[in-house]
Amino acid sequence: MSCSGNCSSCGSDCQKQPLRHPNITGAILGQFMMEMAMRSQKNAAGEITEDVMDDMDRKTMNWLGATFSGKNAQFEIDPQWYPVGVAGNLRIKLGTELAQAAGGKLPEDNATLIYSAMAVFMAEVYDTLAMVTKKGVEPLGEVPAPEMLALLKRWTEMLVGYELQWRDPAQKTEDTEKENTGNK
C-alpha cells in the first residue's frame, strides 16, 4: 500500500519538513524570536519572574540544540549536514564567540558546540531586542525591525550553510512599482 500523504500517525517520513531548507529554519528561528520578545515584555511588565523566564529559555535552548544537532524526529535531516556540517560552519563563523560562551575553549563535541551556538543566538536575540526597544521601535511588529531581520537572516544562513537573498518586506520591488505606475 502506498502512502497517500495522510499519515500523521504512521511514523513515516513523508510529512517531515526538511530542516536545512531556509524557509523551515527561518520559520523556527523567527518563531522563537517572537516568543523570546513576548517573554521579555512579560518579564519587564512583571507578569513572569526571572526564574520562569530562565526555565523557558533553557527549554528553548535545549529544543534548538537538539533540533540543529539532528536529534529532532519532527524534521527531515540531511545526515551530511547535521550535526557535522553545521558544527563546522558554526566553528568557522562563530569560533571566538563560541569559545567565550563555553568558558574560553571551543567545544570539541559537535552537539555541545551546537548547544553553545544556540545560547549565543538567544543572547544576541535578547541584546537586539533591548537595543531596538531602547530606540522606541517595535521589534517584531507588523513590519519587523531591520535589526531583527538581519539577525534572523544571519542565523538562518549559518544553520543552513549558504547565503540567502532576502529582500526587506517594507520595501517595494522595482517591478511592483513599475506595475503600479504602468496601470495608471
Query: pLDDT tens digits, residue range 109-158?
Result: 999 999 999 999 999 999 999 999 888 877 777 778 889 999 999 999 99
Q: Is residue 24 part of a domain?
A: no
Q: Is residue 168 part of a domain?
A: no
Angle between helix axes 50-68 and 110-134 (nearest 10 degrees) is 130
Q: Is residue 84 part of a domain?
A: yes
- C-alpha distances in angstroms, 31 versus 24, 106, 150? 11, 28, 15
Q: Is residue 171 part of a domain?
A: no
For residue 11, report the phi and psi dihedrals to the nearest 5 degrees.
85, 5
Query: pLDDT tens digits, residue range 71-89?
Result: 999 999 999 999 999 999 9
How sure is the predictor about 184, in pLDDT bands with cuts at 50, 70 and 90?
very low
Residue 4 has pLDDT above 80, yes or no: no
Nearest to 162 by CA among 30, 67, 21, 19: 21
Q: Cα separation of 57 and 168, whole Å?
A: 28
Which of the two residues, 10 and 95, has the higher pLDDT score?
A: 95
Q: Please state the domain count of the chain.
A: 1
pTM for this entry = 0.80
Query: pLDDT tens digits, residue range 33-42?
Result: 999 999 998 9
Residue 171 has pLDDT above 60, yes or no: no
Q: Is residue 180 part of a domain?
A: no
- DSSP tag of 184: -
Q: Which domain holds residue 154?
A: 33-163
Long-range Cβ contact pairs of 91-98 (< 8 A, separation 24 or more): 93/158, 94/120, 94/158
Residue 177 has pLDDT above 70, yes or no: no
Q: Is residue 181 part of a domain?
A: no
Quote the pLDDT of residue 103.
79
Q: Is residue 25 part of a domain?
A: no
Residue 2 has pLDDT above 60, yes or no: no
Task: State the chain's mean pLDDT as an integer.
Answer: 83
Residue 168 has pLDDT above 80, yes or no: no
Return the C-alpha cell found at 122: 538567544
Residue 179 has pLDDT above 60, yes or no: no
Quote the pLDDT of residue 118.
95
Residue 170 has pLDDT above 70, yes or no: no
